[in-house]
Structures are given as structure tokens and as C-alpha cells.
Amino acid sequence: MTKQKAIATPSKTKEILNKYGFSFKKSLGQNFIIDVNILTNILDKAGVTEDVGVIEIGPGMGSLTEQIALRADQVVTFEIDQRLAPILEETLGDYSNITIVYQDILEADVSEIINEHFDEGKKLKLVANLPYYVTTPILMKLLIARLPLSSMTVMIQKEVAERMAAVPNTKSYGSLSIAVQYYTEASVVLQVPKTVFMPQPNVDSAVLHLNLREKPLVDVIDEAFFFDLVQACFAQRRKTLRNNLVRYFSDKYTKEALELKLQEAGIDGTRRGESLTIKEFANLANVFSS
């Protein structure tokens, strides 16, 4: 059934593009997948089965959406580009388990849409080929909203995927790694060549799998301050923790007072931000908050 119906082939994709005279909008980061094997691989990594409901973002012409619908109980997909409506009507019209919401995911009330379309207690996953220019805002919005998702499996820019899954003392590790891992267990599960896209992007891609934690990895007194402090510690990567904090707290603490706070947290101020674990950052933030 899959092979016969697949949208995700170069010939089928070109045929549909030509039929509708569709032109890619660079501003929307549109790159359609033209390889069914990659799509089935993504769904394997995501663990999509017939008892699962799936949220998708950016269906394009429905290549991934179709493969999800063949496996999952139900899929709700968000599309920002109204020009794709007639195409999606043709490519996905036969599937009774697909709902297309023509809204910008960053403006949509995703929680309300989940309540509207999925039964309470339904196992939900997010699977998407995300537009690369808004990957981080989308994922952070969804993580902060603490939606009832068990996992997110997303195709994104390789470099961003590596940053989100990075561990301390590596070049990729930074405030983004900590923000993502606060809410999830992150791993890069697939490298994806440029050749599987139309048009081909300028960057390499990877699939990031995020298992959502039942509660954040660390307990912090003030979440917003914790994230601000982490960002401050990475403001100038080559500088020591002490130097970055002196700058961040310039109107609040003297150097001596800061030194006492670092001592209280048991952290050497000559270290750099990239050497601290998320637990050490939480401890430091809580010392300042208490």
C-alpha cells in the first residue's frame, strides 16, 4: 500500500508541483522530502504505532503526513501556507484519520486543539520535518507548554540537533542544550543527506528524538531566572564563569559578593560555562534565588 500511494518520490513530487504551479517560498523554509525510506525510518525512531495519535508541523504536500496516517491512529497537522490547501486536499483527501489545521504553530493554541481532536489519555507524539529557521522557537514553545506528549521526533538542521543533544565539555554544549534537556532526554538518532529533499537545503540535516520527562531534570526555585542565568554564563564562551557573572550582575552584586555566592554553590569561578552540568547550574541559580 505504501509504495503505491507514496507522495515522497522525485517523480510524484515534481508531478504535483507542476500540476499546481507551486513555487517554494524560501521565507517559509520549504524543503519537501522525496525519499520514502527516510520517512519510514523517522517513524520507526519515533515509535509510531496504530494506538498512537500524532501531531505534525509543516506537512508540505503531505509526504510525511501520509506515512504517519498509514501507521498511526490519527494525525493532526499544522500548515501555515494556505497555497498548499488544494494540493493537500488531493494528496491526503482519501485519509479519514488526518486533520489539517491551517495555522501558524507559533500562534496556535495547541493544547486546545489537542483536547478537541484527541481522546483524553491518548498516547501522543510529535513527528515533523520542521522549517529550519524557526526550529528553536517551535520546540521551546511546545516544551514550555508542557503538552501531553510522550516524545518529539523532528528533522532539523544537523548543527542545531547536535547542540540540543550536547553534553558538557563539548563545543556544541550551551544554553540551548540545557533548555532542551531540562524538559527532555535528547538524542540524535539519524543523519539525513541533502539529496532526500526538494529543493536541496544548504545545510545538513539530522533527526532529533526527545523523550519528554514527567518532571524537569532539576528542581529550581525560579525557572525564568535559571534560564537567564544559564544564558549569562554562556554569553562569552571563552570567558570564565566569574567574568560572565560579573557582567550579568553588574548592578546587583560586587565581585566579592559574587565570589561568596560561587563558594556557597561549591563552584570554582575560573571554570567556563561549558564545563557545568545542568545540576550545577540549578544549584547556582538556587543559591542566587534563595
- Beta bridge partners, 155, equal 129, 207
CA distance 235 to 41: 37
Question: What is the C-alpha to C-alpha distance for residues 182 and 159, in angstroms, rounded to an integer?
Answer: 19
Q: Is 35 annotated as a binding residue?
A: no
Could you tell me which residues come within 8 angstroms of residue 214 by beta carbon, excluding any fewer than 6 positions away? none
Q: How many CB atoms lie within 10 A of CB 167?
A: 12
**44 carries a ligand binding annotation:** no
Residue 104 in marked binding region: yes
**Grid cell 498509514 — which residue?**
70
Does the annotation flag 33 for ligand binding? yes
Distance, in Å, from the CA atom of 167 to the CA atom of 179, rounded to the nearest integer, reads: 12
| Beta-bridge partner residues of 185 | 211
Closest CA to 67 of 150, 124, 128, 22: 128
Residues making up the annotated binding site are 31, 33, 58, 79, 104, 129
Residues making up the annotated binding site for S-adenosyl-L-methionine are 31, 33, 58, 79, 104, 129
